[in-house]
């Protein structure tokens, strides 16, 4: 696969990953299209091998979730489905490669796995960045306190507190 095609495929995959039930998932019809098979065939293969797809690998959307997902798109490209789609987690997508066995599916599956890895790396870097920002805020607060103390000391040196002094010298009574 050429670099340009690989980049376009990665962009397509990234756009096809949704966050549902706190899982990054891909929808069955988009996976089927990428693999070059019909959605019906993909789902048949999954059902024939259901023991390979536990709940944390694949789940079916509820009607409410399905309606919500469809409403996020201006135009519906979902067709006339009668049942909510199946959603595949990263592990479920990896398992699909064992039941959808075609050269295209294998290449697409490798690309999908690479995108998921990049997303995890990005998330880890994001967490590191947030921690560094928090550390900077904390250090800034400490530095601000030190600067305030320095200003107080300078102010005391420049404007000593006025106290009434006794005159020094001889007095006439």
Structural domains of the chain, ranges and CATH numbers in brackets: 3-128 (3.10.260)
Most confident of the following: 4-8, 43-47, 72-76: 43-47
- For the segment 134-154, what is each residue's pLDDT rounded down to a tens digit? 777 777 777 778 788 887 887
Helix (H) or strand (E) holding 125: helix 103-158
- Do 61 and 85 contact (CB within 8 A), yes or no? yes
- For the segment 99-135, what is each residue's pLDDT rounded down to a tens digit? 887 777 777 777 888 888 887 787 777 777 777 777 7
Give the Cα separation of 146 and 149 in Å (integer).
5
Total-model pTM: 0.59
């Amino acid at each position: 696969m050429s670099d340009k095609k690989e980049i376009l495929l990665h962009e397509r995959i990234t756009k096809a990953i949704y966050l549902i039930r706190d899982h990054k998932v891909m929808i069955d019809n988009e996976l089927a299209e990428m693999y070059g098979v019909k959605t019906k065939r993909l789902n048949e293969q999954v059902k024939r091998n259901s023991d390979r797809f536990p709940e944390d690998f694949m789940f079916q959307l509820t009607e409410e979730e399905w309606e919500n997902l469809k409403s996020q798109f201006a135009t519906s490209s979902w067709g006339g489905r009668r049942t909510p789609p199946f959603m595949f987690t990263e592990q479920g997508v990896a398992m699909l490669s064992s039941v959808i066995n075609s050269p295209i599916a294998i290449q697409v599956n490798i690309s999908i796995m690479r995108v998921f890895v990049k997303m995890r790396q990005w998330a880890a870097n994001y967490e590191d960045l947030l921690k560094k920002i928090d550390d900077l805020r904390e250090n800034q607060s400490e530095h601000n306190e030190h600067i305030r103390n320095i200003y107080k000391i300078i102010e005391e040196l420049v404007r000593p507190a006025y106290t009434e002094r006794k005159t020094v010298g001889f007095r006439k009574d």
